Every structure is written in structure tokens, then in C-alpha cells.
Amino acid sequence: MEKTNWIGGRPTGSPIFEPNVNPAKLDEVIGHYAWATVEQAAEALAAAREALPGWAASNPQTRSDILRRVGDELHARAEELGALLTREEGKTLREGIGEIRRSAQIFHYASGEPLRNGGECLPGLRDGTTTMVTREPVGVVSLITPWNFPMAVPAWKTAYALAFGNTVVLKPSEATPGCAWELADILHRAGLPAGVFNLVMGDGRTLGPVLVDGADAVSFTGSPPVGRAILERTVARMTKVQLELGGKNPLVVLDDADLDLAADIALQGAFHSAGQRCTATSRIIATRRIHDAFVERLVTRIRAMRVGDPLDAGTDMGPVVNQPQLDKDLRYIAIARDDGAELACGGQRLDANGYFLEPTLFIGTDNTMRINRDEVFGPVASVIPADDLDHAIAIANDSEHALSSGVVTQGLVAAETFRRRSRAGLVMVNAPTAGIDYHVPFGGRSPSGYGGREQGSAAVEFFTEGKTAYINHGVTA
């Protein structure tokens, strides 16, 4: 099965087609996907540029209807597309279907934005004048998305970009082009005019510079080094840029926590989706009094996890996404042991016909160890002991990352103290650090995030430009 790019409303082939391989069954090829050339990326930008005036001026009802239809189709096909997502990315089928449903909800929510996109009207300070503050599309936007949420991240960037009248070139991760291709297909059948949305699949190093240089705005979710390279290019051209980068997310478990709840929350945050979420829990900070009892509960739960084919209903954790990621996970497991961390469970690769790794927990770690500094992006977490709330907050905030954080406590004062003092963009109280709602702003503080939050009420900031008008109509009565 060959899947092409979408440029100017047309399926467009390429000299290069690459296989998309199931990380749970390495002999299973899901399809062959066209890798766009640099020239094709430029053509996609040109098509988006040509389509911009028409789409920017389109009736809000037209935009709303198209986005709603996209959401409807995603809902209707959630099981089928969830299975595709699972086969290309490796998260469990329940998570895959959940991600498609979430993407549908994102399109439905965003379908209201064209109608809600109001402004402000204020009296001018000179007699007989009024000022109006309105919003306009930014223009052509390049959206560059990661493999770990192959439908949800393309959905939440694309839905808002289109809602506010921008035209789009989307480049999904080369590891998971399947969901983005389906999204492109659905968008076109939902009635999107040619060129409003373009899909170029392939290698980021080749296509990235063209896509970044040719856009009016760039929204990227992915690794910190790539984010920094994009930032430098966009700053030089004064292009609007939004980056969602790494996390090293702490979960604090306090003396008064419900320890079963804490263990459930830690397990979900650290190991669901095989830990491959920028919001995943990787540093579990437990106060000394409950440390051993908490670790015992967590280890029991980890040992009970069934790792295997993510399409099987009984599976709790699938494979990691590919060989480089598996290598990185194993490298960090070795580094942690070398640095003196104690392996509480896991640590081994499983079945060689897929990239399966045991869920892995280290104890006896401190916050200076590399396992607690660098983002691993796999099913690997560690426990750091702390004296009390103040000490735990100091450890939680001592990181180069500031995306998500969590606290487990039954105390209102401790929870509110943590909420205020945590230096993260997201704070979870008695809830996992990962797993977000689609209707509220999402993102981290620098350097985990840059250029404003995504989704909910925040999306309008990035995907529009403001205009302030002064109107001298002369009417004072």
C-alpha cells in the first residue's frame, strides 16, 4: 500500500517511498509512505500561500462545518484509526482509540472557534472615536509534529490553525506518518479547498529548513535540540514560533498521601504509553516516612504489568517506538546503574521481534544523577527520597525542564503550596503528570516550552495576529 503526500489538494508521489514498520512486529510493514523532496516542500508552501487569501476570507460557518465534519469522521472511525495508530506507534489499543477520540473532540471544540473569534471594542480617548481590536490569521503555518501522539498533536495544531483562517503545511514524524496521512485524507474529503492543508512526509533534517524558512509561523513539538535549531532560524527571520519540548516531570508523594492512589498515579504517569510522553512522570519524589511503603506498592503494580502486543486487550504496555529509542532507553538504564542507582525492577529488553522493554524503576537515586537530569522518553522512572514538602519542591524545581509536575497529598495546604511554588506549566494534584484535557491551555515554561501555550483559550494567541484600529467617526452622542 503506497501513501502519497498531499500538495495543493492533490495526492503527490515521490521518488522515495519508505516503509512504516510495526514496532511490535518488526516483519509487519503497515504501508510505504512517500518522502517529500525539498522541491515538493517548497511547492506545498507555495500552494498554501496561494490558498491563503481565500481561506482567510472564508465564511466562519464554512470553516466551522468542515472542522466539525473532520471530528465526526474521526469519531466514527475511532476503532479503525486507533488500531492504525497502535500498529505504527506501539501504544495500547485502548490508548490508540482514546487518542483518536481525543482528536475528534479537538476538531469539534475548534469548530466553534471561527464563530467565537471576536475582539474588543473600546471608547477611543479622542472625542468621536472608537477603537477596535480584532484578530487576523498569521498566514502560512508549518506544523512539525512528533511520533508519540501521531494523531492528537497534528490534530491540535491543525484544527486551530485552520479555524483561525491560516493555511497549513504539516510534516509529521517520519516514524509515524500513517495517522497524519489519514487526517489529510479526511480533511480533503470534508471539503477543504485545495492548498489550504498540505502534507509533506519525510526526513526532518531535509525538509525542516525549507518549511521553517518559508512559513509565517512555525509550531513544533519534539526534541529540545531540534527545537533550538528551529528557534535560531525563526528568530533570525523574525518568524513567529511555538515550541513544545522536553520534560523531566516530578511527582511528589507526601507523608499524608493515599499510597494506593499515589502508586496508581505514578504507574500511569511513568509507564502508560511506555513512558513516551513529554508529560510522563520520570522523577518520583517520595518523603522518607512513606518511601518504603510507597515503593513496595509501586513495584508490585509494575511487576503485574503485562508487556506485549499492544493490539491485545490484556496488554498494559506495548513496545517503544523504534531501535534508536530502545538504544537510548537501554543506555540510560546502564548510566543509572553506573551512577549508583539501585534497580528496583525491570531493566531488560524482551522479545526481539519488537522493541519491547520491561517497565523499569530505580530507587536510591538523587537529583544530580544523569537519570534524573536528562529526558529519557521511555518506560524508565526513578525514586528520589525527600525530607518534607519544602525539600520535595526544591528537588522538583531543580531541573532544566519545566513542563508538568504533580503532588499526591490529602492536605489542602500542601497541595496549594505545591501548586503555587512548582515551576512547571502544568500542575496536577492527585492526578498523573500526563494525560491532559483538550479544552485548556497546554505547555511548559522555558526551556520546556517557548512562544506561548497551545489549545483551549491559548490557541488564538499563536494562530492569529492582533490589529488595533482607531476609528474617527465624529459621533459623540
CA separation for the pair 85, 149 (Å, rounded): 9
Amino acid at 56: A
CA separation for the pair 312, 430 (Å, rounded): 29
**99 sits near ligand UN1 (criterion: CB under 6 A):** no
Q: Which of 36, 42, 70, 153 touches ligand UN1 by CB under 6 A? A: 153
Q: Which of 69, 135, 277, 297 touches ligand UN1 by CB under 6 A? A: 277
Active-site residue, selected from the candidate residues 182, 278, 358, 454? 278
Q: Which of 37, 148, 198, 360 touches ligand UN1 by CB under 6 A? A: 148
Residue 257 neighbours by CB distance under 10 Å: 23
Q: How far is the CB of 15 from ligand UN1 (least distance, A)?
A: 31
- Which are the contacts of 386, defined by CB distance < 8 A and separation ≥ 6? 252, 285, 286, 287, 288, 392, 395
Nearer to ligand UN1 (CB atom), residue 166 or residue 221 = 221
Nearer to ligand UN1 (CB atom), residue 139 or residue 208 = 208
Nearer to ligand UN1 (CB atom), residue 278 or residue 336 = 278
Q: Which of residues 56-85 bind ligand UN1 (CB under 6 A)?
A: none
DSSP 95-150: HHHHHHHHHHHHHHHHTTHHHH---EEEE-SSTTEEEEEEEEE--EEEEE--SSST
Nearer to ligand UN1 (CB atom), residue 58 or residue 223 = 223
Query: Which of the ranges 132-140, 231-239, 273-281, 297-305 carries the binding residues for ligand UN1, by CB under 6 A?
Result: 273-281
Task: Output DSSP code: residue 424.
Answer: S
CA separation for the pair 438, 456 (Å, rounded): 7
Query: Which of the ranges 302-310, 362-370, 388-396, 431-439 carries the binding residues for ligand UN1, by CB under 6 A?
Result: 431-439
Nearest residue to 136 via CA among 56, 240, 55, 50: 56
Q: Which segments of 355-398 does DSSP mark as H helices, in order?
A: 370-373, 389-397
Active-site residue, selected from the candidate residues 73, 89, 244, 375? 244
Task: Output DSSP code: residue 200.
Answer: -
Q: How far is the CB of 148 from ligand UN1 (least distance, A)?
A: 5
CA separation for the pair 346, 50 (Å, rounded): 54
Nearer to ligand UN1 (CB atom), residue 374 or residue 465 = 374
Between 238 and 267, how does the x/- string for binding to ligand UN1 read (CB under 6 A)?
A: ------x-----------------------
Residue 384 neighbours by CB distance under 10 Å: 24
Query: Which of the ranges 2-10, 178-186, 319-327, 428-436 carries the binding residues for ligand UN1, by CB under 6 A?
Result: 428-436
Sheet bearing 217-221, strands edge to edge: 10-12, 5-7, 197-199, 167-171, 140-144, 217-221, 240-244, 449-450
Q: How far is the CB of 277 from ligand UN1 (least distance, A)?
A: 4
**435 sits near ligand UN1 (criterion: CB under 6 A):** yes
Q: Which of residues 178-237 bind ligand UN1 (CB under 6 A)?
A: 221
Q: How far is the CB of 227 from ligand UN1 (least distance, A)?
A: 12
Is 278 known to be catalytic?
yes
Catalytic residue numbers read 244, 278
Q: Which residues bind ligand UN1 (CB under 6 A)?
A: 146, 148-149, 153, 221, 244, 277-279, 434-436
